[in-house]
Amino acid sequence: MTDLVAKVEQFLAEHPTAGADPVEWLGARFDAGLAWVHFPVGLGGLGASRSAQQAVDEAFLAANAPQPNPAAPVIGYGMAAPTILKFGTDEQKQRFLRPLYTGEEVWCQLFSEPGAGSDLATLATRAVRDGDEWIVDGQKVWTTMAHVARWAILVARTDPSLPKHQGLSYFVCDMTDPGVDVRPLRQITGEAEFNEVFLSGVRIPDAHRLGAVGEGWKVATTTLMNERVTIGAHAAEREDGLIGAVAKTWRERPELRTPGLHDRLLRLWVDAEALRLTAERLRQGLAAGQPGPEGSAAKLTFATLNQAVTGLDVELHGEEGLAYSDWTMRRPKDADWASRDAGFRYLRMKGNSIEGGTSEILRNIIADRILQLPKEPRSDVDIPWKDLPR
């Protein structure tokens, strides 16, 4: 850890933060191995322990270092990067990881479909081999930030004669290619952070396939496990996020207080602190390997807590909480929750129990893989996908 701190100090001395171009500065940080310190040398890391990342990030934050494009981190950092690192070829790692980190290239996720959300393995988007390319046709939905993305991680069906989990393959899709049509999905907030994406004859080079043909579910599982840790177990200080916004209002607006609201706030504050510390323990455990099903528990708790906290936030504001500042249809460049009013946060957090794995599916994962309860009866596991009723 001491050596890493020294490297950060040396880097800051050689690369002043004041007036720096964010992309160039972040590129230099990547090249120095201080982007993701647990990644290999030459790919943004130093081969250090994952547990050292938080200290490095905090040192750069304290120095007011440039930060990446706000649209980049969740899917790019949290999902695409670890998947590319584990399954990508050397050429893919060299091509994609650096511009992903600097925010030059934003990523989105083409997984869910109108008929395959919670049961993702039933997806119907087809990829047909044509020489050194794959021709992709289908529809994806709930695609966050697709309207600003350059690349997408995509799961498609390459063999419909196999059972649903076995006939999938995983690709990197260029969102600027012909045949990619991104359409906004307006949410209850009034904005269109999400999109539906239509793929019509999109040609993807076989060189942009991650993992072997037919192993798409294996690759996608890595993505999903990382997604749940990214959403539910991100690094945070005490009173970061939504609970901090409610606590701030409570302290600054004594006229809004009631004994009942006080009791609810204290209970939720304790729950938020318990989640923060549990997430810290989970991240420390990740230093020993890849994310497991524990991330599902963190994400489930994250969703439940956020919805309870924002509900309290609206009630605390009384009549003010019913006001809504702006319901204009717009397509944001990043998912900004913290700076919005109580009404926006309340409505937006309703999506937390759907995105990143529905709470119902996460409970099944916890029951199956953590508690090892008997599995639910399934009749579609060994049947060829093409024979499943749809």
Catalytic residue IDs: 227
3-state secondary structure string across the chain:
CHHHHHHHHHHHHHCCCCCCCHHHHHHHHHHCCCCCCCCCECCCECCCCHHHHHHHHHHHHHCCCCCCCCCCHHHHHHHHHHHHHHHCCHHHHHHHHHHHHHCCCCEEEECCECCECCCHHHCCCEEEEECCEEEEEEEECCCCCHHHCCEEEEEEECCCCCECCCCEEEEEEECCCCCEEEEEECCCCCCCCEEEEEEEEEEEEHHHEECCCCCHHHHHHHHHHHHHHHHHCCCCCCCCCHHHHHHHHHHHCHHHCCHHHHHHHHHHHHHHHHHHHHHHHHHHHHCCCCCCCHHHHHHHHHHHHHHHHHHHHHHHCCHHHHCCCCCCCCCCCCCCCCCCCHHHHHHHHHHHHCCCCCHHHHHHHHHHHHCCCCCCCCCCCCCEHHHCCC
